[in-house]
Amino acid sequence: MSTRWNGKSRAKGSRTVGVTTGSGDARWLAAAARLAGRARPLSSPNPAVGCIVVREGRVVGRGWTAAGGRPHAEAAALAMAGDAARGATVYVTLEPCAHRSHRGPACADILAEAAPARVIVGVADPDPRTASAGLDRLRAAGIEVVLADCATCADSLRGYLVRANTGRPHVTLKFAASLDGCIALPDGTSRWITGPEARAHVHARRARADAILVGGGTWRADAPGLDVRLPGLGDRSPERYVLTRGAAPAGTRAIAEPPAISAMEGVQYIYIEGGAETAAAFLAADLVDRIEIYRAPIIVGDGLRAVGALGLNDLVNAHGRWQQVEDAQLGSDHFAAYRRTREGAV
């Protein structure tokens, strides 16, 4: 699915009200966004959506997009709520779909039939089959609709929104580095820089990606498994890709240049695990949306730097591009995540 939808076409004529941070509505939306996390990445190529039905302060229904994309979150939450949905408030992270498919009815229609009093929507859907039509159909059914422009919901939908607005998947670049920014010894050895807690964290992150990618150099040096080795998640290993100008190594698919990620069928989230030249290639092409760094309390000195040559000649150009969004201690290692700050980005 390399379709590019113009995000600007979204929700024409619809009212964006916003919900106050910390308000009841904002908290329920945040809870729906956390539920949506259960659908990632199994819902691909459909968006991972979360939905909660609340009546008199109690949750009477909840759902998230099922593996393969159906049933949708709203359908699951309304099925659980049954008659209790009538007059209730529905919180849903993404605008309910307005298009019927052979796989099921439009969520806007089943919501209209369930007749909640209010529907609070996290973010508008850029899919032209739904954009604003989902909200309009609910309003036409006499339901109060609030489009909240919820940042937490947008975060939970990054892969879908980046795909819709740019035509390529969301890209996370990860590396494990020493305090002095090295990812390997001078001889290329990089096992093991971080401890078991950080490595388990990496495996959990892999399980949230549709695709995992390393450079040809890393593939040849480390022969990495790139799989998910966590109890119960063994079947969640992402599809393996190698950035190479040559042929795909056995068991992988080749990507000949960074922009070719747009052609990855059905992929919303890519997790890149190095090495330095690959990191530089994606950063130079401005194709990295998120950086995740595991920093071990060791000094390597004369080792391989985390990122290869970028041709930067003015530090001014390096500032203002990354904003820290996560921070945690994992055993003896430190984890931090940074989001690319792009003006007007989703």
Ligand X SMILES: NC(=O)c1ccc[n+]([C@@H]2O[C@H](COP(=O)([O-])OP(=O)(O)OC[C@H]3O[C@@H](n4cnc5c(N)ncnc54)[C@H](OP(=O)(O)O)[C@@H]3O)[C@@H](O)[C@H]2O)c1
User: Which residues participate in catalysis according to the annotation?
Assistant: 74
Q: Is 211 annotated as a binding residue?
A: no
Joined together, the tokens standing for residue 43 give 């819902």
214 lies in the binding site for ligand X (CB under 6 A): yes
Choose one: 54-62, 67-75, 119-127, 182-190; the region binding ligand X (CB under 6 A).
182-190
Nearer to ligand X, 199 or 340 (CB): 199
Nearer residue to ligand X within complex by CB, 77 or 276: 276
If the CB atoms of residues 1 and 293 are measured against ligand X, the closer one turns out to be 293
Binding mask 127-166 for ligand X (x = CB under 6 A): ----------------------------------------
CA-based nearest residue to 53, from 82, 30, 33? 82
In whole angstroms, the minimum distance from the beta carbon of 247 to ligand X comes to 9
- Per the CB < 8 A criterion, the answer to whether 222 and 190 are in contact is yes
Residues pairing with 213 in the sheet: 241, 272
**Residue selected from 31, 59, 221, 233 as contacting ligand X according to rule CB under 6 A:** 221
Residue 222 binds ligand X, judged by CB under 6 A: yes
Contact 135, 11 (CB under 8 A): yes
Closest CA to 205 of 270, 123, 140: 270
Closer of 63 and 169 to ligand X (Cβ): 169
CB of 327 to ligand X, least distance (A): 19
190 is in an annotated binding site: yes
Distance, in Å, from the CA atom of 95 to the CA atom of 126, rounded to the nearest integer, reads 9
- Whole-angstrom distance, CA of residue 292 vs CA of residue 238: 18
Tell me the residue ranges of DSSP E strands in 32-125.
Answer: 50-55, 58-64, 89-94, 118-123
Tell me how far, at minimum, the Cβ of 337 lies from ligand X, in Å: 15
Is 280 annotated in a binding site? The answer is yes
Residue-by-residue DSSP string for 277-334: HHHHHHHHTT--SEEEEEE-S----SSEESS-------GGGGTTSEEEEEEEEETTEE
Q: Is 277 annotated as a binding residue?
A: yes
The residue behind tokens 């729906």 is 32
107's CB contacts (< 8 A; 6+ apart) are 72, 74, 75, 92, 96, 97, 134
Residue number with the smallest Cβ distance to ligand X: 275
Taking the least distance from each CB to ligand X, the nearer of 221 and 233 is 221
H/E stretch holding 213: strand 211-215
- Please indicate if the annotation marks 72 as binding a ligand: yes
Q: Which is nearer to ligand X, 131 or 304 (CB)?
A: 304
Helix (H, G, I), strand (E, B) or coil at 183: strand
Residue 182 labeled ligand binder: no
Site for ligand X in 287-326 (CB under 6 A): 304, 308
**CB within 8 A of 234, min separation 6: which ones?**
227, 228
Q: Does 184 bind ligand X (CB under 6 A)?
A: yes
Q: Is 70 annotated as a binding residue?
A: no
**Helix extents (H) in 141-243:** 151-156, 158-166, 196-206, 216-222
- Considering the complex, state which of residue 41 and residue 274 has its C-beta at the smaller distance from ligand X: 274
**β-strand pairing of 58-64 with 89-94:** unpaired
Q: Which of these ranges, 22-30, 86-94, 175-183, 325-333, lies near ligand X under the rule CB under 6 A?
A: 175-183
Q: Say whether 276 counts as a known binding-site residue.
A: yes
Contacts to ligand X from residues 236-275, by CB under 6 A:
243-246, 256-257, 273-275
CB of 313 to ligand X, least distance (A): 20
**Alpha carbon separation from 343 to 10, 48, 228, 321, 322 (Å, rounded):** 18, 24, 34, 10, 12
User: Which residues make up the interface to ligand X (CB under 6 A)?
Assistant: 175-176, 183-184, 188, 190, 193, 214-218, 221-222, 243-246, 256-257, 273-278, 281, 304, 308
As annotated, the binding site includes 72, 97, 107, 176, 190, 192, 206, 218, 222, 226, 229, 273, 275-281
